[in-house]
Chain A
Amino acid sequence: MGPLVINEIISENTNLFLAFLIGIGFGFVLESSGFSSSRKLAGVFYGYDTVVLKVFFTGAITCMLGLLFFSLFGWVDLGLVYVNPTFLTSAILGGIIMGAGFIIGGFCPGTSFCGAAIGKIDGIVFIVGLFLGVLIFGLGYDLWDELYMAKNLGSPKVSESLGMSDGLFAFILIIIALAMFTVAEWAEKKFPREEY
């Protein structure tokens, strides 16, 4: 059955319309969870507000389990679902640069749009920065082309790389997430902050 557009159950244009609706859901959930506030987002790095960690891991695990069950029931063909490719060098370097951008700017791209949507001027300025950053990458592409394409491992699954089944990996990830949530709840009590 799924993915619907790949199996031609819905048309390309319907897919784009549904993308808009899915975006509304995405923006709504992010904003209602507090992701439009940079001080709430940055809280995870100081322990006073760990909403990022909780929402992020609960979200990833919910979808991961959903896909595994859908695949089990024959509702979705996991072979047709896009798995992000792994270019080792750029995945690490890009992540490091993004991490620096996160702690300096207080947003990530998706959350800055949520902030901008409710009038956060720092969110709007962050978006201006994002466009500049992408433009710099595009204009200087030849300078980092080699780095960008280095160590292409294809699209391996983390479970394959660790030599275990998807289900076992999912189970271990849930245990890790529960341990992190426990630490997060403890941190919020240990480093409390008043209204921010």
Chain B
Amino acid sequence: MTETKELRKTRYLNPYVGGVLLGLVLLSANFIAGRGLGASGALKSTIVATMTTVAPDASERSGFVKEFRESHAGNPMKTWLVFEMLGVLVGGFISGALAGRLKFKVEHSPKITSRKRLILALTGGILFGFGSQLGRGCTSGSALSGMAVLSLGGFITMMAIFGTAFALAYFFRKNWI
């Protein structure tokens, strides 16, 4: 009994089935909204909204805010990706709840401390956040969605992300294995 319960706890979807489902979600986004999935765009909206609220004058002069406004009229938080990312939080929570995976914890290799893991997570986050803006989208918006619509830039960004991570994997191996 306990054994089956344990098994169920850690069981994940077959990756190929997960991939097909992910593809269908992405296809429905393209069919309905004419655009793919994304994540970092919602972060950008949030930062633009914060900047324009905290320092309205200075941020109106900012090239970053101007560039955002050229493609987004109105309230920066009333965008497709913001609503989509709120859904991601809900969907992730539902899946975790059904599988019995809801738990506050710092996940890390036994070879490193929680503190070190959190410092690495913060550093990685800063780099990924910055890179996603420079690269006009992250793994979701640029690589995955870009590849599905055969965007040249999507393929280039995908290869740069995975190529760099593979190239650096050896140097960071102690944090993971």
Whether A and B are associated in the same complex: the answer reads yes
A residues at B contact (CB < 8 Å):
2-6, 10, 15-34, 36-39, 42-43, 45-46, 48, 50-51, 54-64, 66-67, 70, 75-76, 78, 80-88, 90-123, 125-139, 141-142, 144-145, 147-148, 153, 155-161, 166, 169-170, 193, 195-196
- List B residues 119-144 near A (Cβ within 8 Å): 120-144
The answer to whether A94 and B40 have CB atoms under 8 Å apart is: no
The answer to whether A36 and B92 have CB atoms under 8 Å apart is: yes
With a CB–CB cut-off of 8 A, which chain A residues contact B22? 26, 29-30, 33, 55, 58-59, 62
Q: A96-B164, A102-B124 are in contact. Are A3 and B169 (CB under 8 A)?
A: no
With a CB–CB cut-off of 8 A, which chain B residues contact A114? 88, 92
The answer to whether A32 and B124 have CB atoms under 8 Å apart is: no
Q: Closest 7 A-B residue pairs measured CB to CB?
A: A105-B124, A129-B125, A23-B87, A94-B135, A133-B129, A62-B23, A58-B19
With a CB–CB cut-off of 8 A, which chain B residues contact A57? 19
The answer to whether B164 and A95 have CB atoms under 8 Å apart is: yes
The answer to whether A56 and B124 have CB atoms under 8 Å apart is: no
Q: Shortest CB–CB separation between residue B57 and chain A, in angstroms?
A: 15
The answer to whether A131 and B46 have CB atoms under 8 Å apart is: yes
- List B residues 11-30 near A (Cβ within 8 Å): 12-13, 15-16, 18-30
The answer to whether B146 and A26 have CB atoms under 8 Å apart is: no
Q: A19-B83, A100-B164, A137-B130 are in contact. Are A106 and B121 (CB under 8 A)?
A: yes
Which DSSP category, helix, strand, loop or mixed, fits chain A's interface?
A: helix
Tell me the bound Cα distance from A127 to B27 in angstroms.
27
B28, B51, B94: the one within 8 Å of A28 (CB): B94
With a CB–CB cut-off of 8 A, which chain A residues contact B94? 24, 27-28
B residues at A contact (CB < 8 Å):
10, 12-13, 15-16, 18-40, 43-44, 46-48, 50-51, 62-65, 67, 78, 80-81, 83-97, 99, 101-109, 117-118, 120-169, 172-173, 175-177
The answer to whether A15 and B33 have CB atoms under 8 Å apart is: yes
With a CB–CB cut-off of 8 A, which chain B residues contact A59? 18-20, 22-23, 26, 144, 148
A10, A31, A110, A122: the one within 8 Å of B96 (CB): A31
The answer to whether B13 and A33 have CB atoms under 8 Å apart is: yes
With a CB–CB cut-off of 8 A, which chain A residues contact B95? 27-29, 31-32, 118
Q: A28-B95, A119-B103, A119-B104 are in contact. Are A99 and B164 (CB under 8 A)?
A: yes
The answer to whether B163 and A99 have CB atoms under 8 Å apart is: yes
With a CB–CB cut-off of 8 A, which chain B residues contact A19? 29, 33, 80-81, 83-84, 87
Tell me the bound Cα distance from A191 to B162 in angstroms.
19
